[in-house]
C-alpha cells in the first residue's frame, strides 16, 4: 500500500490542490437564478419534479440527486454547491484512470490532471448548483468503461457503460453527443480492423440498451426540442464562429474575462487563437501522416471533435453558450492537447507548452475569484428593501419567478421579508390582480429588465396610480444581465 501511495503521490497532491481551489470562496458569489431554480424544483416531490422538468428544458435526474443531497446535508449555499464539488473531484479520479489508459505515461497524465485542477471553467461550474458536474461525471464514467470495453470486451464493463450512459442522458441532452461519438469510434474500429470484429460486435448492443432505457423520456425531449426556447435565436456563420472562439477563451481565462481590462481581453483572444490553430494543425498532421497510426489517445480527440461539431451545428438553429454546455468536453480537450504536444515536439518543449497553458489557466482562476457575483445578484436589491420594509408590505416581482431569489434569501438570512406574491404571469395580470386586492396599504414592485417581455415597465407608475396608489420611492440597480428597478407604492390619501 505504501508503494502504491508513493507511485501515485503526484495524483494525490494534484487532487488535494484541486479540492482546495474548488472549495475556496464557495459561498462568496450569489446564488443566481439557475441555481435558485434548481433549489426550488428540488423542494418538490419526485413525481412533481418529473412534471415540472417535462415542461422545462432539462431532464430530471439532477434534481432527484439534489433533493436527496439536501435531505441529508441541508439546502445552504455551501451544502448545495458542495454537491458539485464532490462530483467534480470524483470526475478527476476517472480522468486520472482514463488518461493513464489513453496516454500510458504518468508525466503526461500529471499534466492533464494539472490542467483540469486549474481549469477556471471547471472550477466555476464546480461551484454552481446545476447539473453540469453530474453530467461530467456520468459521461466520463461512460467514456472510461467504453475505452475499457474496446480494449478488453466483457459483459460487466458493458453493463456499467450502459447504465452510466443512460443516466447521463437523463441528466443533460448534450450527453447524447458523447454517445454518438462513442458509436462512431467503435464503428470505425469495427470497419478498420477485421480481426477485431467478432470481439467488437457485442458492444453495439450496450448503447442500444442505454438508448432504450431513455425511450420513456424521448417524447418529452422531442417536444422540448421542437418548442425551443424563446431566449435563443438562430445564428449566422459569423456569430457561430465567434461562439467557437469564445469557447477556448472561457475554457482557459474564466467566463469573467469579458468584464476585465482590455489587456485581459487581448490575452484571452491570443490564447483562444493559439489553442484553436494548434488543434487544427495537429489534427491535419495526424490525418496526413502515412501510414495513419491509431494511438489510443486519438479516441479522446474524437470524443472532443465530434460532440463539439454537433453542438456547433445545433447552435446555428438556437444560440447556446458553448463553454457552458460543452464544459463536459474539457477532459478530452486536455488529453488531446497534452498528447499532440508530446507527439509532435520534444519532451522538454511539450512540457513547457503545457506548463504555459497551466499558467494561463492559473491567471484565469485569479480572474474567477476576483469577481464576487454570478448573474441576477439580488443581494443589493434585498438590502435596499430591508431598510424601508414595514410589516404587512407586499412584494411583487416581475417576472414573478425572479422573486425566488428573494424567497431563498429570506428563508436563510432570517430577515423580515415575506415571499413575493405571485399575482399573474405578466405585468398586466399582476396589475389587474393588484386592483382587486383590498387592504393592501403598501407594496414593492420589482421590475427585472432581463425579462423578454418588458412592455409597460417604464410607465408602471402611471398604471399603478390608476389603481389608487402613489409612488414613494424608486431606485435602479444595474446588475448582470440587465438593470433591476425597485419602486415602493402606498395607498393614496390614507394611512
Contact 143, 91 (CB under 8 A): no
**Percent of the chain that is helix, strand, coil (3-state, to 5):** 70, 5, 25
pLDDT at res. 475: 96
Contact 246, 322 (CB under 8 A): yes
C-alpha span between 114 and 106 (Å, rounded): 12
pLDDT at res. 4: 67
pLDDT at res. 494: 57
For the beta carbon of residue 485, count every other beta carbon within 10 angstroms: 19
Q: What is the CA radius of gyration of the chain?
A: 25
What is the H or E stretch that residue 285 is in? helix 262-288
Question: What is the full per-residue pLDDT of the chain (495 aa) written as tens digits?
Answer: 666 667 789 899 999 999 999 999 999 999 999 999 999 999 999 999 999 999 888 999 999 999 999 999 999 999 999 999 999 999 999 999 999 999 999 999 999 999 999 999 999 999 999 999 999 999 999 999 999 999 999 999 999 999 999 999 999 999 999 999 999 999 999 998 888 888 899 999 999 999 999 999 999 999 988 887 777 788 999 999 999 999 999 999 999 987 778 888 888 889 999 999 999 999 999 988 876 677 899 999 999 999 999 999 999 988 888 999 999 999 999 999 999 999 999 999 999 999 999 999 999 999 999 999 999 999 999 999 999 999 999 999 999 999 999 999 888 887 779 999 999 989 999 999 998 888 889 999 999 999 988 999 999 999 999 999 999 999 999 988 999 999 999 998 755
C-alpha span between 308 and 458 (Å, rounded): 42
Amino acid at each position: 500500500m505504501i508503494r502504491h501511495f508513493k507511485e501515485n503521490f503526484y495524483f494525490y497532491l494534484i487532487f488535494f490542490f484541486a479540492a482546495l481551489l474548488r472549495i475556496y470562496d464557495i459561498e462568496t458569489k450569489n446564488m443566481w437564478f439557475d441555481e435558485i431554480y434548481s433549489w426550488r424544483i428540488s423542494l418538490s416531490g419526485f413525481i412533481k419534479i418529473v412534471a415540472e422538468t417535462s415542461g422545462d428544458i432539462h431532464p430530471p435526474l439532477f434534481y432527484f440527486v439534489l433533493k436527496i443531497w439536501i435531505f441529508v446535508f441541508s439546502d445552504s449555499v455551501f451544502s448545495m454547491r458542495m454537491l458539485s464539488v464532490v462530483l467534480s473531484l470524483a470526475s478527476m479520479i476517472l480522468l486520472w484512470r482514463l488518461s493513464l489508459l489513453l496516454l500510458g505515461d504518468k508525466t503526461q497524465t500529471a499534466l492533464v490532471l494539472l490542467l483540469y485542477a486549474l481549469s477556471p471553467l471547471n472550477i466555476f461550474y464546480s461551484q454552481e448548483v446545476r447539473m453540469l458536474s453530474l453530467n461530467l461525471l456520468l459521461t466520463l464514467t461512460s467514456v472510461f468503461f467504453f475505452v475499457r470495453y474496446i480494449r478488453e470486451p466483457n459483459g460487466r464493463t458493458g453493463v456499467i457503460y450502459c447504465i452510466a450512459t443512460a443516466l447521463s442522458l437523463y441528466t443533460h441532452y448534450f450527453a447524447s453527443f458523447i454517445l454518438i461519438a462513442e458509436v462512431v469510434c467503435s464503428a470505425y474500429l469495427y470497419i478498420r480492423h477485421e480481426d477485431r470484429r467478432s470481439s467488437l460486435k457485442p458492444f453495439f448492443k450496450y448503447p442500444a440498451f442505454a438508448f432504450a432505457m431513455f425511450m420513456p423520456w424521448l417524447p418529452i425531449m422531442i417536444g422540448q426540442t421542437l418548442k425551443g426556447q424563446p431566449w435563443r435565436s438562430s445564428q449566422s456563420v459569423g456569430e457561430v464562429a465567434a461562439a467557437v472562439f469564445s469557447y477556448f477563451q472561457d475554457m482557459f481565462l474564466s467566463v469573467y474575462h469579458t468584464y476585465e481590462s482590455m489587456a485581459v481581453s487581448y490575452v484571452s483572444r491570443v490564447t483562444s487563437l493559439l489553442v484553436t490553430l494548434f488543434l487544427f494543425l495537429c489534427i491535419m498532421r495526424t490525418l496526413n501522416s502515412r501510414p495513419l497510426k491509431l494511438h489510443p489517445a486519438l479516441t479522446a480527440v474524437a470524443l472532443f471533435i465530434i460532440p463539439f461539431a454537433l453542438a456547433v451545428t445545433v447552435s446555428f438553429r438556437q444560440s447556446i453558450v458553448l463553454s457552458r454546455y460543452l464544459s463536459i468536453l474539457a477532459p478530452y480537450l486536455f488529453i488531446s492537447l497534452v498528447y499532440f504536444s508530446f507527439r509532435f515536439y520534444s519532451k522538454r518543449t511539450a512540457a513547457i507548452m503545457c506548463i504555459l497553458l497551466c499558467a494561463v489557466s492559473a491567471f484565469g482562476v485569479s480572474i474567477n475569484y476576483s469577481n464576487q457575483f454570478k448573474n441576477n445578484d439580488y443581494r443589493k436589491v434585498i438590502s435596499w428593501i430591508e431598510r424601508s420594509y414595514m410589516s404587512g408590505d407586499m412584494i411583487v416581482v416581475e417576472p414573478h419567478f425572479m422573486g425566488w431569489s428573494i424567497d431563498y434569501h429570506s428563508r436563510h438570512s432570517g430577515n423580515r421579508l415575506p415571499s413575493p406574491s405571485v399575482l399573474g404571469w405578466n405585468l398586466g395580470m399582476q396589475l389587474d390582480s393588484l386592483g382587486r386586492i383590498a387592504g393592501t396599504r403598501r407594496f414593492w414592485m420589482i421590475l427585472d429588465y432581463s425579462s423578454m417581455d418588458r412592455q409597460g415597465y417604464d410607465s408602471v407608475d402611471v398604471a399603478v396610480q390608476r389603481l389608487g396608489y402613489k409612488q414613494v420611492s424608486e431606485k435602479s440597480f444595474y446588475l448582470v444581465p440587465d438593470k433591476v428597478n425597485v419602486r415602493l407604492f402606498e395607498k393614496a390619501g390614507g394611512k
